Amino acid sequence: MGKKVVILGGGVAGLSAAHELAERGFDVTVYELRRIAGGKARSIPVPGSGKQGRKDLPGEHGFRFFPRFYKHIIDTMERIPYGNNPKGVADNLVEGTRLGLARTDGPPVEFLTEFPTSLKDLRALLKSLFDNRLGVSEREFEHFLDRIWQVMTSCNERRTEEYQDIPWWDFIDAERQSEAFRRVFTGMTRILVAAKAREANTATVGSVGAQILADMVVPGGSASRILNGPTNEVWIDPWVEYLRQIGVDYHKNARVERIECNDGIITGAIVTKNGETFEVKGDYYIAAFPVEVMAEMVTPEMAATDPSLNNLKKLAESVDWMNGIQFYLKEDVTIIHGHIIYIDSPWALTSVSQRQFWPRFDFSEYGDGQVKGILSVDISDWEKPGILYGKSARHCSPEEIRDEVWAQLKAGLNVEGKVVLEDSNIHSWYLDEDIHYPNPDGLPVNLEPLLVNKVYTWDWRPHAYTAIPNLFLASDYVKTNTDLATMEGANEAARRAVNAILHASGSRAKRCKIWDMYQFEPFLFLYREHDEFRFRRGLPWNGKMIASLG
Ligand SMILES: Cc1cc2nc3c(=O)[nH]c(=O)nc-3n(C[C@H](O)[C@H](O)[C@H](O)COP(=O)(O)OP(=O)(O)OC[C@H]3O[C@@H](n4cnc5c(N)ncnc54)[C@H](O)[C@@H]3O)c2cc1C
C-alpha cells in the first residue's frame, strides 16, 4: 500500500481508475490536458455567454445517454457523494420513457422504452412499430427479429470469434431488403455512438441492440437514462471533488508530452503545466488517453517490449467524427420524453430536449437569463452531403453547420403541417469547441474523434495490462465485456487496469467488480449452452430454434 500510481488523462477512464485506486490506499496523481475534467463526457460552458453575473450557458461535447444495461459506471456513480442522495450522483439519473424515430414523410414514431412484460411483447412491440407505420413488411420484420434472436441466443465464443468480423449490414442482409427496412434498421445503429451499419461489427451492434430492445420489454425501469442537469454540475465536478477528498491529486491544464521507457519499464512521463516542463514518476502508470493519442505515445522501446502496442496505430484509424451542437431556445420545445433518432437525416442526427429532465436547474441563472430550453444534437455523419448546401459537415463553416442541422431537424419534426421548430425560437447556439477551424480557408480538424467499433478490430484492441510490467491501459478502446466505446466501456477498462495493478503489486485489496455485459441469463441459458456445444464442433448457429419458440 502507499504505492504511487500516475494516471495520464483525466476522462471517465482516468477518473474511474483514480477512484478505485485511492479507495484502496494508493497514492494517485492524474494529469489532464484540458481545463475541464471529464474528457469527452465533459460539459463545456459556452465562453462569454453569461451576462450580468450569470453563469455561462451549459454546452457539451455531445449529450449523455446511460442505457439500462450499464453497470460499471453506475456502480461508480453510486459511490460519488451528492447532497443527501442515498445513491450519490447515480440518483441524478432520470429515466427517459420514449424513443422517437423522426422521419420526413410522417410524424415521429414514438415507442416506449419501458414496457413491463415478457419477450413475447418484444414481438408485439416491434410488430406494431415496424409493420404498420414505417413500411417494413411482415416478412422483413420477422427476418430482423430472427437476426436479433440469433445474437441473443449465440454463445460468447461465437460473438467474439465470428460476429466480430461480420458487418451488421451483412448480418441483417440489408442489401436484399427493402429501402424501408434499410432506413429503419440501419438508421437505428446511429444511437450506438455513431456506429455505421456497413462497417460496425455484429458482435457489438447486434448484442447492444438486442440488449436495449430487451430492456424495453423487461420490467424494472426504462432502457434509457439521462442526467438531471449539465454533466459536470451533477456528476463530474462532484466526482473530482470527492477524489480530492480521498487524496487524489488531479492536475488540469497538464499536457503529457511523452512517456519514457527504458530497459523495458516505464521510468517516467514528461508533463508540461503552466509553461513548465517536468518529469513525473510513479511505481505504476495508467495511460488513460484516447486511442489516437496513445498510439502516438508508443515509442520504439515500448513497442519492442510489447509488440502488440503497434496495433494501436491500426486501431486509431477506426476513429470517426461524432460531435454535438446545442440550440438554446427562447421557448422550451419538449418534443418527446427521451431521445430522437432522425432516420432520414444525412448527417445522422440524434437529439434530446434537456429542460424536461433538468427540473432543479434554474435556467434564469445562465446566459442572459432568457434561455428557456436546450435542444442538444449529436452529428454522427460528417461525410454525407446535407440538404441545404449539398456539402458534408466537414466542409461547412460553423454557421453552415448550424443552418444545416436546424434544417434537418425541421425536416424530421415539422411534418404534415405541424410546426415543432420555428426559426424565430433560436436564442443562440454552440458548436463543440473540438471542431477547430485553423484558418479561414482550411478544413476543420476534430480534436477529439471517437472510436467506432468496426469489423476486424477486436484483435487489435489491447488488454488493460501490457508486457511492460508497470504500464496499464484504461480507455474506451481496451478489450472489455462492454465492447463499445462508451463511458461504460471506459469505466470497465479502468477497473481492469486497477485489478492488474492490484495483482502486480501483490495487493490483497478487494478486486474491482467486473460484470458480464449481457443480461439474457438465465432466461436464454440453455439456448446459449446449446450454441456453445455447436460452436465448439464448428457448426453454425441453429436457426431452427426460432421455430421451436412458437
Ligand atoms: C459526441 C459524443 C457523444 C457520446 N455520447 C455517449 C453517450 O451518450 N453515452 C456513452 O456511454 N458514451 C458516449 N460517448 C462515448 C464516451 O464519451 C467515451 O467513450 C468516453 O467518454 C471515453 O472516456 P475515456 O476516458 O476513455 O476517454 P476520453 O474521454 O477521451 O478521455 C481521455 C482524456 O485524456 C486527455 N488527454 C488527451 N491527450 C492528453 C495529453 N497529451 N496529456 C494529458 N491528457 C490528455 C483528454 O483531454 C481526455 O480528458 C459519446 C462520445 C461522443 C464523442
Residue 24, helix vs strand vs coil: coil
E strand or H helix that includes residue 350: strand 349-353
CB 171 within 8 A of CB 424: no
Number of H helices, E strands in the chain: 18, 24
pLDDT class for 2, splitting at 50, 70, 90?
Answer: confident
User: Model confidence over 370-419: pLDDT tens digits?
Assistant: 999 999 999 999 999 999 999 999 999 999 999 999 999 999 999 999 99
Least confident window among 20-29, 246-255, 437-446: 437-446
Contact call for residues 252 and 34 (beta carbons, < 8 A): yes
Q: How far is CA 76 from the centre of its chain?
A: 16
pLDDT above 80 for 439:
no
Q: Which of these ranges, 238-242, 259-263, 280-284, 320-324, has the smallest mean pLDDT?
A: 320-324
Taking CA atoms only, the protein residue closest to ligand 1 atom 16 is 486
Q: What is the pLDDT of residue 194?
A: 64
Provide residues with CB under 6 Å of ligand 1. Answer: 8-14, 31-34, 39-41, 61-62, 64-65, 193, 255-256, 288-290, 293, 322-324, 378, 450, 475-476, 485-488, 490
Given this structure, which CATH class describes domain 4-90+228-318+453-505?
alpha beta
In the reported structure, the alpha carbon of residue 39 is separated from the centroid of ligand 1 by a whole-number distance in angstroms of 4
- Which candidate, 43, 486, 421, 70, places its Cα nearest to that of 232? 43
CA of 40 to the centre of ligand 1 (A): 3
Question: Residue 264: its pLDDT value, please?
Answer: 97
Q: What is the DSSP string of 381-442?
A: -SSS--SSSS--GGGS-HHHHHHHHHHHHHHHHS-TT-----GGGEEEEEE-TTEE--SSSS
Confidence of residue 117 (pLDDT cuts 50, 70, 90): very low
Q: Which H helix or E strand runs over 471?
A: strand 471-473
Question: In this structure, are residues 253 and 456 in contact, taking their beta carbons and an 8 Å threshold?
Answer: no
H/E stretch holding 98 reads strand 98-103
pLDDT tens digits for range 224-270: 899 999 999 999 999 999 999 999 999 999 999 999 999 999 999 99
Which of 1-5, 267-271, 460-464 has the lowest average pLDDT? 1-5
pTM: 0.94
Residue with CA nearest ligand 1 atom 34: 9
Per-residue model confidence as pLDDT tens digits over 67-110: 988 999 999 999 999 999 999 999 999 998 888 889 998 888 87
Look at the domain 320-446 and name its fold. D-Amino Acid Oxidase; Chain A, domain 2 (3.30.9)
